[in-house]
Structure 1
Amino acid sequence: MRFILSTLLAIVSLVASAQVSEPYRDASLGAHERAADLLTRLTLDEKISLMMDVSPAIERLGIPEYNWWNEALHGVGRAGLATVFPQSIGMAATFDNDAVLAAFNAVSDEARAKYNGFRREGRHGRYQGLTFWTPNVNIFRDPRWGRGQETYGEDPYLASVMGEAVVNGLQGPADSKYIKTIAGAKHYAVHSGPEWNRHSFDARDIDPRDLWETYLPAFKTLVDAGVGQVMCAYNRFEGEPCCSSKKLLIDILRNEWGYDKIIVTDCWAMNDFHNKRAHATHQSGVDASADAVLSGTDLECGSDFGNLREAIDRGLITEEAIDESVMRLLEARFSLGEMDDDASSPWASIPMSAVDSKANRALALDMARKSMTLLKNNGVLPLARNASVIVMGPNANDSVMQWGNYNGFPSHTVTVLEGVRDITGRDIPYLRGCDHVINNNFVSCFNLLSSDGKPGLTATYWNNKSRDGQSVAVERLTVPVNKSTGGATVFAPGVNLTGFSARYVGTFKPEESGRYTMQLRTDNGFRRLSVDGVTLVDNSTKGNRNTYTCTFNAEKGKSYDIELLYGAGDRTALLSFDIGMIKDYDTNAGDADVVIFVGGIAPSLEGEEMPVSVPGFRGGDRESIELPAMQRNLLKSLKAQGKKIVYVNCSGSAVALAPEDSICDAILQAWYPGQAGGTAVAEVLYGDYNPAGRLPVTFYRDDSQLPDFLDYSMDGRTYRYMKDKPLYAFGHGLSYTTFDYESASLDRKSAKCGDNVNLNIKLRNAGKRDGDEVVQVYIRKEGDFGGPVKTLRAFKRVTLPAGASRDIAFTLTPDAFKTYDQKSGRMAVTPGKYEILYGGSSDNLKSLHLTLK
């Protein structure tokens, strides 16, 4: 017996020794060396399986399952509890890249903490990994684009600086053995709407100058910063889908810029290659997948790469080409430490207490404060604590609006109403007044539902889609149904995340006769809603539409049986349901002297490829940038009531506010300010915080100042090419103090084209309050016909006490003087005279002159 036992132990020892001797298992080796060894041990089918975002485990080699899809646009997204910072466009408004870096250091802490927890539980699903598809550094060329809120504005330099801060915060110190998380620059390239036709749109006839001066610079900056992924866009560029564009991916990204890391497709973009209703540039998924890989794409979010085996069999691609992509993927996974023991990684010790920590909540508030952009103030601000005020508007008490899109879920969100009540210590009155676009004053009557003689609905769940057999959970719901499996949150204990169904039943007994409305929102799974056996919604409705409004007449005292059947779809399960009445809003502001009106739009209206069906919005884009008439008319009514109006605009894009500029006493642009937004807004309105946010986008006067949305030419767009005077210029933002630019000087009047040039500006806080100023430096080349009017090349957010002065130094590198060179077809510094403009806004600048030889 001893002999047998010793023999077995010897065999185990030999196996273990052999495993350790395999280079890919040796954590002391570099990621490249380990990846090269592991690549030789994979079969072709195994290699192909690793090239899709849902990558299966390969147990014989110890490769764990991995899902590449994760989000962290302004906090860890879609994975449950997380600190929610202001939306990206709001972070751009801070003009503080150091603050953005600090925020994303916190985001990557939370990301690692969540990953550590998921890993300990053996979970490897979507939104549980370490590879994040952020930042979005597309240029916000047109304010109608719904996804512009995800970007850092309309200026290439601002997008570059902010994007680099995000990458550095997510990926961690460059000298660390293991990268903290992997960032992803998206969407490459020439991509900024419209949303409704992005799967078939071809961005062709792009002026080379626009390509190199506007659409590419931020991506080049992030490549130089070592970003671990680049995501190619849905649309075509010059006839080819971006994910197979030889010019974008091979000629520029791989060969010219030397990018040797991962290129990933946008999700299901490969399907557009051969979908007859989309690009239809390829015959099949076989042709599409081969072309994409040969064009430089390594990883697919989708399943078309499953055709690569057939593509090899047909001679469309070689295994050697597959190896190049798999090598990059393996190297990335080794660089994360994702295939090593936890003890090997310094990031494995980050605990779950890092998520929603006190320090991170303070950072979210700091970023929200810094993003607040005061556009107008006739002296009404700051408000006195005892001022007679009322809070109104569709965004005043809406926490979800503040989260933006691609968001996590905070432990608490301070709405503007709550912020105002907190800072004043008073129960400030509140009236919604109107909705965003169409009056829909839905007053919930969910409390009038009962089941088995008890309040609420009875919910029964099955872990199958057909409600067969024994149920797995029963619960009573006494508040409106609002369920989602986002963040791996189950509908009820014991219910699976997928493949389940539910039945909700109750009796509705109205307290007044009238027309009642049921609001239902689901994913694209099965749904059927009936009243007294009459079906109002059923599964015959297909497609993207998933929001339903059903009405029925009901008499006081009678009872009506409500039944809602639901079966989860194949993605994140979602179900919300309520019953109530539509009533007129109260718009009388009463005795209040000041109305704090919190309006604008919302992420439910502008966003990514959305099934929005309200006037003025299409697929998540806006057809008009005007403030919706519903709100505009109410503001006029409030002015007619003799009220002073402090208008707080919440949006992820520019809103045309020319009429409001004439009737409102103050206008504060609050963006989608995240979980602490209400506190930040209140602190600005009441003077506890001196605002210094700046516009990262031009606020046009009205629709007439906008070119055709489908025209990708930069002519007439953004502050760099606009010929008209906007309502509020790029870089504009007011303070409760004033700053004087007393003097400025260059260290020389002429220099060689490759030299650094030093600029010194003497700045004084001439007011009576401490405050921040954003010093902005723009450059234009004299005689550069067809070039930008001016372009941002440097900025610093500076804090100055009242009455204090400070010298602000800038080093302008050769990159600051680069313009598009017609001869080389690239960006270059060319001899000539340059004007250096400086000041606190793009429309209020002083200038110096420099000659480059």
Structure 2
Amino acid sequence: MENQQLLNIIDQLTLKEKIAQLIQLSGVAFDAKDSEITGPLEEMNMDLDTLHHTGSVLGISGASEVIKLQKEYLKHNRHGIPLLFMADVIHGYKTIFPIPLGIGATWDLNLAEKSAEVAALETAVSGVHVTFAPMVDLVRDPRWGRVMESTGEDPFLNSEFARAFVRGFQGKDLTNDVGRVAACVKHFAAYGAPEGGRDYNTVNMSERQMREHYLPAYKAGLDEGAELIMTSFNTVDGIPASANKHLMKDILREEWGFQGVLISDWGAVKELIPHGVAEDEKEAAYKAMRAGVDIEMMSPCYVHHLEELVQEGSIEEAEIDQAVLRVLQLKDKLGLFENPYRGADELREKEVVLSAEHRKAAREVAAKSFVLLKNQNQTLPLQRDKKLALIGPFAKSKDILGSWSWLGAQDQAVSIFDGFVAKTDVANLVVAQGCEVETSTAEMLAEAIETAKNADIIVLALGEAAWMSGESNSRASIQLPAVQLELVKQIKALNKPIVTILFNGRPLDLHGVFEESDAILDVWFPGTEGGNAICDVLFGDVNPSGKLTMSFPYSVGQIPVYYNHFNTGRPQSGPYGTRYLDIPIEPLLPFGFGLSYTTFTYSEMQVTSTVLTKDNPIQIQVDVTNSGELAGEEIVQFYIRDIAGEIVRPVKELKAFEKVSLQPGERKTITFTLTEEQLRYYHSDLQWQSDPGTFELFVGPNSRDVQSIKIILK
């Protein structure tokens, strides 16, 4: 449809109908009958006429339900403008993939894209048009619950994953490919940097820091074509994002040229009042509209006050028209004017949702997301003829989907026990729970100890419950619960090999687990096929290749601890260097870390020149050899450091990586190309440029264990 046709539709709308297009309500609101105002409508003091012209709905899915609601809605909408359906499909619709932090640990952009593609298809055939994903917030504080929804602490890696997820959700032709959905990048901006790691809390940083570390992933997602972006709950430089004109207009609209839909998060417009920048709903509506928020999600400020603000001249009706146009353009791009039931297909829904093919994809991604944190004396992979004891709160638990799995059903999930039964002779397996996630009894502990006595190797299935991470689920202590640490202590006393399987939505303080375990496999929340994928790795059918995208702290007292930090004027040497008296300053496990069942040997790195100019990039080469006895995958990482900049520069910055698959004894040459543009950064005047001088280049298997060489930028 041409823009002029959409403008003609807008011309036919009353001001009240225009404003209704800028409202998003939950599906419960549409349960209202013709003469009955209940639920959200009653709470927000909205009438049925507003409901019949509301632009979008969230939280409704299922082809039958969506078709039914769309038909009913179109009976009342006098202009025939279809309703837009949105939902939180974060790491799977009903086929649940690992949490995004786990998908990030694959360092595999193709797998990330595939996970989003599968989620998009299941979502689309179920009638939903938009997913509130990907979340691309950079995170450095694992206390924050929504760490699980991020891909980590590095701006470059987050940007690459942002692009991959958008490609997977939207495909190449959103209009004609009804098996895809529109992506909404979130949360703009810097939501992942709340003080104290406490959700919704204040964010305080310079614009230079925000531009360099936090904004790149949002821009990458938008550059890849994401149709929507969501405001964050937090303040930025003292102004809540949903009222922040500098963010939303100066940067997002003017500088970046974003023409898509800007939607608030749930209730965020009305929350300008408790934030303290709006005295009442009217001022909240005024400030959000002036900041450019197109859709107000689940609060009534627009519907109650925009008409009044236009009538008194505080808001130009043209501003509302522009917001409505963006909403209609999205509906048009999705083909909803031609087919309001786009994608919704009950028969197709039964075929593809939780299909064998999708389960297979989830199993593959899960296995590639696991990070082998420790493997002393080659305890893993397990030998099938050994007597195994499977012990712990997650031994038979199906609470392995993680937060934000929405429609994922635990009864469809594969537990570790299920995986063992499918993989091994159960005659060699004994099982005990040992404890709940946070509670235990003397009897449970005693049973676990007796069970372990009858085994050659003990597999401990430990971790956080899914509710311990996710939105509003921050934790001040990120150790495992005390009952689980006591279980580890008692089992350790038996002096038998211990393999610990960790379920978690964040990096953990592993004291009480790391030293006591012979092997540790971090499986995050692995999703629907978790148990099968875990056993694939435990028994060596899949060689673990995941690497951390967030540092694991030695102690919560270090937080935030991240690899790309600044140096100080007094580095950690001498009695007055930067240090703690009681703990190291380095994390327990660094960014990029992950072991394999095989070993990889790196040759000395070579460069084609030690002088780099704007017109002459250089190449960095290193030979990587599989020096072990099993086939495996290695993630080769390339970092740089600007030795002396106009602004203090990080001690390392990831610039490229390559995942390479090698047979035993096989060697491959990995080549990275470095350009002058990759050495640019935001200066004190916010100019994006490089500084001539000395740079150090690093190559290695993680951010800590690297070799280096110096070059000059002229």
Same fold flag (TM > 0.5)? yes
Deviation at 1:291, TM superposition (A): 1.3
> Which secondary structure state, in structure 2, belongs to the residue aligned with residue 398 of structure 1?
coil
Q: Which amino acid aligns with 2:238?
A: G
359-368 or 310-319, which moves further after superposition?
310-319
- CA–CA distance in structure 2, aligned partners of residues 766 and 347 of structure 1: 51
**Structure 1 residues 272-671: aligned runs within 5 Å:** 272-274=271-273, 278-302=274-298, 303-306=300-303, 307-341=305-339, 352-378=350-376, 379-410=378-409, 412-427=412-427, 428-439=429-440, 586-588=447-449, 589-609=452-472, 620-671=473-524
Segments of 5+ residues of structure 2 without an aligned counterpart are 26-53, 56-72, 573-584
**Corresponding residue SS for 2:454:** coil
Match of 1:43 in 2: 14
* Greater displacement, 163-172 / 404-413: 404-413
- Structure 2 residue corresponding to 1:797, chosen from 650, 655, 659: 659
Letter in structure 2 aligned against 1:360: H
Q: CA–CA distance in 1 between the matches of 2:524 and 2:382?
A: 21
SS at match of 2:641: strand
Instruction: Give 1:401 deviation, angstroms.
Output: 2.9
Moved more, 52-61 or 223-232: 52-61
Q: 1:395-416 CA distances to partner (integer Å, 9 max, x unpaired)? A: 2222123343343325721111
Within 5 A, what are the aligned runs for 1:79-90? 82-90=94-102
Pair 1:646–1:198, CA change in 2 (3 A) = closer
Distance 1:350 1:91, change over 3 A: same
The CA deviation string for residues 515-538 of structure 1, in whole angstroms up to 9 with x for no partner, is: xxxxxxxxxxxxxxxxxxxxxxxx
Residue 216 (structure 1) shift: 1.2
1:240 Cα deviation from its structure 2 partner: 1.3
Q: For the Cα contact (< 8 Å) 2:445–2:487, is it kept in 1?
A: no
Of 606, 613, 624, the residue aligned with 1:763 is: 624
Larger Rg: 1
The separation in 1 between residues aligned to 2:437 and 2:385, in whole angstroms, is: 29
SS at match of 1:183: strand
Matched residue type, 1:257: W
For residue 170 of structure 1, report the CA deviation from its aligned partner: 0.5
Would the aligned equivalents of 1:212 and 1:827 in 2 still touch at CA under 8 Å? no
Q: In structure 1, the residue corresponding to 2:148 is in which secondary structure?
A: helix
Residue 436 of structure 1 aligns with an amino acid whose one-letter code is V
Is residue 620–residue 671 contact of structure 2 (8 Å, CA) maintained in 1? yes
Is the 2:612–2:675 Cα contact (8 Å) retained in structure 1?
Answer: no
**Shift in CA distance, 814/413, structure 1 to aligned 2, threshold 3 Å:** farther
Q: 2:122 aligns with which of 84, 101, 110?
A: 110
SS at match of 1:662: coil
Q: Is the 8 A contact 1:753 1:831 kept in 2?
A: no
Relative distance call for 1:815 and 1:53 in structure 2 (3 A) is farther
> C-alpha distance in 2, partners of 1:232/1:819?
25
Aligned equivalent of 1:12: none
Q: CA deviation at 1:836?
A: 1.8
CA RMSD of aligned residues (A): 2.5
The residue that corresponds to 2:240 in the other structure is 241
TM superposition shift of 1:796 = 1.7
**Counterpart amino acid of residue 301 in structure 1:** M
Contact in 2 for aligned 1:720/1:791 (Cα 8 Å): no
Matches within 5 A, 1:681-760: 681-707=534-560, 717-721=562-566, 724-753=585-614, 756-760=617-621
Shift of 1:152: 0.4
Q: 1:792 to 1:328 in 2, by over 3 A?
A: same
| 1:13-92 → structure 2 map (5 Å cutoff) | 29-30=1-2, 32-54=3-25, 55=54, 57=73, 59-67=77-85, 69-76=86-93, 82-92=94-104
Give 1:755 shift: 5.5
Label 1:351 to 1:413 Cα distance change in 2 as closer, same or farther (>3 A): closer
Give a deviation string over 1:303-353, Cα, whole Å, max 9, x none.
222121122123221110101111111101100112213799899996541
Task: Give the direction of change, closer, same or farther, for the CA distance of 1:392–1:311 in structure 2 (3 Å limit).
Answer: same
Q: Is the 8 A contact 2:373 2:522 kept in 1?
A: yes
Cα deviation, residue 154, structure 1: 1.1
Query: Is the Cα–Cα contact under 8 Å of residues 403 and 469 in structure 2 kept in the other structure?
Result: no
Counterpart residue type for residue 278 of structure 2: H
Q: Which residue of 2 aligns with 1:552?
A: none
1:124 — aligned with what? none
| Equivalent residues of 1:698, 1:718 under 8 A apart | yes
Distance 1:796 1:252 in 2: 32
- Alpha carbons 2:126, 2:346 under 8 Å: kept: no
Number of matched pairs: 641
2:638–2:654 Cα contact (<8 Å) kept: yes
Q: Is the 8 A contact 2:393 2:437 kept in 1?
A: yes
Cα separation, partners in 2 of 1:839 and 1:348, compared to 1, 3 Å: farther
Cα separation, partners in 2 of 1:705 and 1:195, compared to 1, 3 Å:
closer
Q: TM-score, with normalisation over the residues of structure 2?
A: 0.85
List alignment gaps of at least 5 residues for structure 1: 1-28, 77-81, 116-128, 442-581, 610-619, 708-715
CA distance in 2 between counterparts of 1:33 and 1:755 reads: 48
Instruction: For 1:591, give the aligned amino acid.
Output: N
State whether residues 194 and 621 of structure 1, in contact with CA within 8 Å, keep that contact through their aligned partners in structure 2. Answer: no
Q: 2: CA distance between counterparts of 1:149 and 1:646? A: 23
Any idea what SS the aligned residue of 1:363 has? helix
- For residue 161 of structure 1, what is the aligned residue in structure 2? 160
Q: Deviations over 1:587-612 (max 9, x none)?
A: 31232121100112122222212xxx
Does the CA contact (< 8 Å) of 1:144 and 1:624 recur in 2?
yes
Secondary structure of the equivalent of 2:594?
Answer: coil
Amino acid at match of 2:295: L
1:74·1:407 contact (CA, 8 Å) conserved in 2? Answer: no
Corresponding residue for residue 697 of structure 2: 836
Q: Residue 359 of structure 2: SS of its match in structure 1?
A: helix
Distance change (3 Å), C-alpha of 1:659 and 1:174: same
- The alignment partner of 1:251 has SS state of helix
The DSSP-based 3-state class of the residue aligned with 2:636 is strand
Alpha-carbon distance, 1:717 to partner = 4.1
The answer as to 2:634 corresponding to 1:781 is: no
Q: Name the structure 1 match of 2:254.
A: 255
Q: Which residue in 2 is equivalent to 1:559?
A: none
Q: Distance in 1 between matches of 2:480 and 2:161?
A: 28
Return the alpha-carbon distance in structure 2 between the equivalents of residues 653 and 807 of structure 1.
34
Q: Is the 8 A contact 1:754 1:829 kept in 2?
A: no
In 1, the alpha carbon distance for the partners of 2:441 and 2:337 equals 52
Write the letter of the residue equivalent to 1:293: M
**CA separation in 2, counterparts of 1:406 and 1:239?**
33
- Aligned-partner Cα distance in 1 for 2:565–2:615: 24
Identity across the alignment (%): 31
- Say whether the 8 Å CA contact 1:84–1:407 is kept in structure 2: no
Q: Residue type matched to 2:498 in 1?
A: I
Residues 228-262 of structure 1, C-alpha deviations (whole Å, 9 max, x = no match): 11111111112211111122111211111111111
TM-aligned CA deviation for residue 764 of structure 1 = 1.5
CA distance in 2, matches of 1:226, 1:48: 26
Cα displacement string for residues 473-514 of structure 1 (whole angstroms, at most 9, x for unaligned residues): xxxxxxxxxxxxxxxxxxxxxxxxxxxxxxxxxxxxxxxxxx
1:825 aligns with 2:693: no
CA contact (8 A) 1:741 1:762 kept: yes
Between the aligned partners of 1:740 and 1:703, the Cα distance in structure 2 is 33
* AA at the equivalent of 1:48: I
Which residue type is aligned with residue 37 of structure 1? N
Counterparts of 1:107-146 in structure 2, within 5 Å, are 107-115=119-127, 129-146=128-145
- Cα deviations by residue, 1:677-724 (Å, 9 ceiling, x for unpaired): 1111112111111100001110111122225xxxxxxxx545545872
Q: What letter is aligned with 1:752?
A: T
**Closer, same or farther: CA 815–261 of 1 in aligned 2, 3 Å:** farther
Q: Which secondary structure does the structure 2 equivalent of 1:294 belong to?
A: helix
Q: CA deviation at 1:750?
A: 2.3
Q: Is the 8 A contact 2:643 2:649 kept in 1?
A: no
Q: SS of the counterpart of 1:810? A: strand
